[in-house]
């Protein structure tokens, strides 16, 4: 019985086979080239500090600082990662006065409205996907009294205390059949998140609607539609 030859074994026969292209090039183990400290975590580096000689200490310190910066960067990117509930009393602190350069997405909702429930489900998933963005929700009555149901869901996008985007009402939020990717795209358009989607998930539907509108009679009287939509009227800028 002939035993199998290890293609990575250092033998003269294997070298000949490699020269003729019968065997692939030998795979080198990258671990051989790593310094002992390059395999360690920050805690392990601290515990093993006394084991390094003087020649290695500068390299160890440089490597430690590199790992520390990587850790801080990771912590910053993963600062949030969940959809948090806040009250109206917390609005200024949590939203308007959020840390500098942090994007904040707040959903004003009413739990009795199915569309609000759907938006909260989507935002909960998006908060996990984009942990560097702050996602919060608040029952609308705790923020604005007598806010009309037709204006819900309401989503505001903040950065540095300024409103950078808004979605007011079912239509602007994407309709009752809103999909996760569609809401992700809408929020990405404001700059609050950096999506990996390459194009608007509703592109085909939008093109179809535009085509339908263009095909309507040019004689249709639109002069009576001068007033703003209910969704636009709902935005009470003086409240924010």
pLDDT at 50: 64
Can you read off the two tokens belonging to residue 30?
């990258």
Q: Decide: 158 and 164 in contact? Cβ < 8 Å.
A: yes
Half-sphere CA count of 219, side-chain side, radius 13 A: 0
pLDDT digits (tens, 9 = 90+) for 105-152: 999 999 999 999 999 999 999 999 999 999 999 999 999 999 999 999
pLDDT tens digits, residue range 85-95? 999 999 999 99
The tokens for 24 are: 């692939």
Q: Computed from CA positions of residues 234, 114, 209, 214, in that sequence, does the dihedral angle turn out positive or negative? A: negative
**Inter-axis angle of helices 114-129 and 180-190, to 10 degrees?**
70
pLDDT in tens, 35-53: 565 556 666 666 666 666 6
* Residue 109 parent element (H or E): strand 103-109
Is 188 in contact with 200 (CB distance < 8 Å)?
no
Which residues, other chains included, contact 202 with Cβ-Cβ below 8 Å and sequence gap of 6+?
174, 182, 185
Q: What is the pLDDT of residue 6?
A: 59
Q: State yes or no: pLDDT of 240 exceeds 50.
A: no
The answer to whether residues 42 and 67 touch, using CB atoms and an 8 Å cutoff, is yes
In the chain, how long is the greatest CA-to-CA distance?
A: 93
Band (pLDDT 50/70/90 cuts) for residue 239 is very low
Residue scoring higher pLDDT (201 or 118): 118
User: Which CATH homologous superfamily contains domain 84-203?
Assistant: Glutaredoxin (3.40.30.10)
Query: So what's the pLDDT on residue 210?
Result: 53
pTM for this prediction: 0.60
pLDDT digits (tens, 9 = 90+) for 204-230: 555 555 555 555 544 555 554 544 555
Between CA 140 and CA 113 the distance in angstroms is 12
* Dist CA 122 CA 182 (whole Å): 10
Q: Considering the chain, what is the average pLDDT of its residues?
A: 78
User: Where residue 11 falls among pLDDT bands split at 50, 70, 90?
Assistant: confident
Mean pLDDT comparison of 24-28, 54-58, 62-66, 71-75, highest-scoring range: 62-66
- pLDDT exceeds 50 at position 21: yes
Q: Residue ranges per domain, the chain? A: 36-69, 84-203
What integer pLDDT is reported at residue 123 of this predicted model? 98
Residue 172 in this model has a pLDDT that exceeds 70:
yes
What backbone phi and psi angles, to 5 degrees, belong to 157?
A: -115, 125
């Amino acid at each position: 019985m002939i035993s199998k030859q290890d293609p990575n074994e250092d033998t003269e026969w294997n070298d000949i086979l490699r020269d003729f292209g019968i065997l692939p090039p030998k795979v080198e183990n990258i671990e051989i080239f790593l310094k002992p400290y390059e395999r360690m975590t920050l805690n392990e580096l601290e515990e093993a500090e006394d084991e390094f000689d003087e020649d290695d200490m500068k390299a160890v310190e440089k490597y430690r600082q590199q790992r520390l910066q990587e850790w801080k960067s990771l912590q910053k990117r993963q600062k949030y990662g969940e959809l948090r509930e806040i009250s109206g009393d917390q609005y200024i602190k949590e939203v308007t006065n959020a840390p500098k350069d942090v994007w904040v997405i707040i959903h004003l909702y009413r739990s009795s409205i199915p569309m609000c429930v759907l938006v909260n489900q989507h935002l909960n998933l998006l908060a996990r996907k984009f942990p560097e963005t702050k996602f919060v929700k608040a029952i609308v009555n705790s923020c604005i009294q007598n806010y009309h149901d037709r204006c819900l869901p309401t989503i505001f996008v903040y950065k540095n205390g300024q409103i950078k985007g808004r979605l007011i009402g079912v239509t602007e939020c994407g309709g009752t059949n809103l999909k996760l990717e569609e809401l992700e795209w809408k929020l990405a358009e404001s700059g609050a998140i950096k999506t990996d989607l390459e194009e608007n998930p509703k592109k085909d539907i939008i093109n179809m609607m535009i085509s339908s509108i263009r095909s309507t009679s040019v004689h249709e009287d639109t002069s009576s539609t001068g007033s703003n939509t209910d969704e636009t009227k709902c935005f009470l800028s003086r409240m924010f």
